[in-house]
Amino acid sequence: MAEVIRMPKMSDTMVEGVIANWLKKEGDVIKSGDIIAEVETDKATMELENYEDGTLLYIGVKVGEAVPVDGIIAIVGTPGEDYSSLLADAPVAAVAAVEASSTPVAAPVATTPAAPAVDLSSIPAKAVRMPKMSDTMVEGVIAKWLKQVGDVVKSGDIIAEVETDKATMELENYEDGTILYIGAKEGEGVIVDGIIMVVGEPGTDFQPLLQQATTPVVPAPAAPVAVAASAPVKEAPKATETKATSSGIQADAKGGIIKASPLAKALAKEKNINLNWLQGTGDGGRITKSDVENYKPNAGGAAGNFISGEESFEDIPNSQMRKTIARRLSESKFSAPEFYLTMKINMDKAMEARVSMNEVLPVKISFNDMVIKAVALSLVKHPKVNSYWMEDRIRVNKHVHIGMAVAVEDGLLVPVIRFASEKSIAQISAEAKELGGKAKNKQLQPKDWEGNTFTVSNLGMFGIDQFTSIINSPESCILAVGGIKETVGVKNGQFYATNIMKLTLTCDHRVVDGATGAAFLLTLKQYLEDPIKMFI
């Protein structure tokens, strides 16, 4: 007897799942325990396990389509069995997987109208699509192709490096065959679920695949263009246009990749020199380390160089990370009714305690480590501050995952220290250093940045006394940490030197009231002003 396979609820917040990839096809014999598909949820891409023995008679959802929880996605039974009554009783509730939220795609997407639906099952080729590699990703930039048209690839091969809004990640292939088509050049962006490649048998006519679902390619942004004109302003001379991507790949005016040694590229990036301004002296015009070292700024318009008496500017294309930061923070700023609470913390005892801890612990403790430890313990006592706003409900988290804002070259990343309230300060310190290094080197993986329940942002090391931060949705609060400043205190009419640090808590008033936020800060103050309380 035929049985239906329904979309399971794979996370507590999941309302629908997108079929990212089918691992089985109609006609395949499957058993209980087989992995039949990959499903993209609101948190991750997960494997869909089968629990029925039989033949896969029907697949009702295409790759890239979404199905609500409990919707029918497939039917398993005996070959030739009539399963029409199952579909009549419970029609498949599949909806298009193109992101249709209120958030627009980061860049205009030019596509042609889709052709009428045709039977693609007889075509010995498969489309490889851009996967969703993070919970906030809407498009990915092809940073580097590791394969090319004509190459034979297997499932599991790494075919490209893709720059997402959070990191540069490897793109794994799941189709066996020959690469027949590559639809996105290095430096171009492709929206999630857009076709980036076609794999199949050599000589296959794959055009119907492209006509059925046109590849949504986001053109590579125009590169930094330096224009200079002497005063009084005259017509500015045309500057050589450089195509650049957020991943650092540079192309010349004709679209060709600039030839440069890895060492030359690294040195040029360090010196903020655009490779397009250099004339290579190596083989075939390849730019070498000495070319970068011998570059004269006045010979070009290197970024950051100010030329006396001339007007100039530079246009820098937005990276995927910068686009996502703009989108998410705008959503938070204009949807959450925020208010701010600031408190002064006397850090005299904390400074003494840090010296003592660094004499005995295997890792060096920073003031930020102490703040994270104190925040984690305070959240245990004030769980309302450790909550999410979920539109129709408030989720009070019973675990503490601290997001640690880290400034990187392209913007801001928030790696997560999980179960921070259960870890020692030495463990927090070691993990914070490891995550900070991975963030700066773009080595973070989804497990490193997902699930934070509260975020700490520290600008004290930059000499900032006090500032406010924007809430990292769906969290309810974020803590802004200023620097420690020596100042004059008064006690019993006597002046004395003391060290003060200012903390500012940004609160979502839909979840946290003023008294709740103030009570949390008071507990945090007690831990930091008398650190021994954190260890008893």
Nearest CA to 381 among 190, 524, 168? 524
Ordered alpha helix ranges (H), 275-361:
289-293, 320-335, 348-360
CA-based angle 365:366:370, to the nearest 5? 85
Chain-centre distance of CA 15, in angstroms?
Answer: 22
What is the Cα–Cα distance from 483 to 351, expressed in whole angstroms?
A: 13
d(CA 137, CA 145): 20
Which residue of the set 53, 465, 509, 530 is catalytic?
509
The answer to whether the beta carbons of residues 528 and 535 sit under 8 Å apart is: no
Annotated active-site residue 89? The verdict is no
SS (H, E, C) 30-55: ECCCCEEEEEECCCCEEEEECCCCEE
**What's the rounded Cα separation, in Å, for the pair 509 and 506?**
9
Structure token digits, residue 257: 């990749």
CA atoms within 13 A on the CB side of 103: 20
Sheet containing 35-40: which strands, arranged edge to edge? Answer: 45-49, 35-40, 16-22, 65-68, 95-96
| Total residue count of the chain as it appears in this document | 536
- CA-to-CA dists, residue 409 to 250, 362, 413, 438, 458, angstroms: 17, 30, 10, 13, 17
Q: Residues 315, 465, 513, 530: which is the catalytic one?
A: 513
Among this protein's residues, is 382 annotated catalytic?
no
- Nearest 5°: CA angle at 323, between 320 and 326? 150
Q: Are strands 454-458 and 477-491 parallel, antiparallel or unpaired?
A: parallel
Q: Return phi, psi of residue 176, to 5°.
A: -95, 135
Rounded Cα gap, residues 367 and 347, in angstroms: 10
- 431 backbone dihedrals φ, ψ, rounded to 5°: -70, -40
Q: Are 469 and 493 in contact (CB under 8 A)?
A: no
Residue type, 352: E
Cα separation, 160 vs 201, whole angstroms: 20
Nearest to residue 97, comparing CAs of 181, 216, 196? 216
Going by C-alpha positions, the residue among 53, 57, 27, 23 that lies closest to residue 39 is 23
Angle 76-80-86 from CA coordinates, rounded to 5°: 50
Torsion, CA 261, CA 266, CA 267, CA 269, rounded to 10:
120
| Residue 300 near residue 277 (C-beta atoms within 8 A) | yes
Task: Write out the catalytic residue numbers.
Answer: 509, 513
